[in-house]
């Protein structure tokens, strides 16, 4: 199983803790140490599972808006996007549990024209206000169809580290990685009002593969 580059520090710490706690359990509890070691082994395995990098065949897209993450669609709503669009947009929000793949992918193809990191709170990721009050990053892309699409990584109650690698001027390719969020969170995508929304609330998405909307060409 291929692991993400962001896993290095977390897995190092988890390995050290697993060895120390396992050794202490064996020393003090002898045969009963299995009651400690087995749950520790499950947790240790979940750390590796969280950082997995699935092998996915990413296609070329123009009008299609691709799911930026693995997760569940929890919101489709017309909102005011005040940071970049400064007007009405359709917000599609996808919630990621700690068991989902947490690679963040470009939802559209084009050019990165804006990026900004915002410190903030750590409300639960499905809270509506988390989009504007939590720690988050905002990225905007001018698409191949000449639309401006904004998407936002949002830290949740558990997720306390957001990473994004893109810079203004970079080429964005739908389905390709631009960042990572550790241990459960949410991504919002803000689309033009005339966008055809294909997904619905409750849908389970595969990042980089599933089409969630279609821009007008």
Catalytic residue numbers read 185
DSSP characters over 23-75: HHHHHHHGGGGHHHHHHHHHHHHHHHHHTB-----PPP-SSEEEP-SSEEEEE
What is the C-alpha separation between 100 and 23, in angstroms, rounded?
31
Query: Which uninterrupted H or E stretch holds 130?
Result: helix 130-133
What tokens appear for 135 in the block?
A: 């720690």
How many CA atoms lie within 13 Å of 171's alpha carbon, on the beta-carbon side?
A: 2
Largest CA distance in the chain: 68
What is the C-alpha separation between 94 and 99, in angstroms, rounded?
14
Beta strand extents in the chain (DSSP E only):
64-66, 71-81, 87-96, 103-105, 110-118, 136-143, 148-155, 162-164, 171-172, 177-181, 185-191, 196-197, 204-205, 211-214
What tokens appear for 24 in the block?
A: 């202490």
């Amino acid at each position: 199983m291929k692991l993400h580059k962001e896993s290095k520090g977390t897995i190092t710490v988890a390995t050290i803790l697993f060895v120390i706690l396992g050794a202490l359990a064996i020393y003090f509890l002898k045969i009963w140490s299995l009651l400690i070691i087995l749950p520790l082994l499950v947790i240790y395995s979940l750390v590796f599972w969280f950082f997995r990098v699935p092998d996915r065949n990413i296609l070329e897209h123009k009008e299609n808006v691709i799911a930026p993450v693995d997760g569940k669609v929890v919101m489709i709503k017309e909102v005011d996007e005040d940071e970049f669009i400064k007007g009405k947009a359709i917000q599609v929000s996808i919630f990621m549990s700690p068991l989902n793949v947490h690679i963040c992918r470009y939802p559209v193809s084009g050019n990165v024209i804006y990026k900004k990191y915002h410190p903030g709170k750590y409300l639960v990721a499905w809270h509506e206000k988390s989009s504007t009050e939590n720690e988050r990053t905002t990225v905007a892309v001018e698409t191949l169809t000449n639309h401006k699409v904004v998407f936002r990584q949002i830290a949740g109650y558990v997720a306390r580290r957001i990473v994004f690698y893109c810079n203004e001027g970079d080429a964005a390719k739908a389905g390709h990685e631009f960042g990572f969020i550790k241990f459960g969170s949410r991504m919002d995508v803000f689309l033009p009002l005339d966008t055809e929304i294909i997904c619905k609330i409750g849908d389970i998405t595969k990042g980089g593969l599933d089409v969630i909307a279609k821009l007008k060409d």
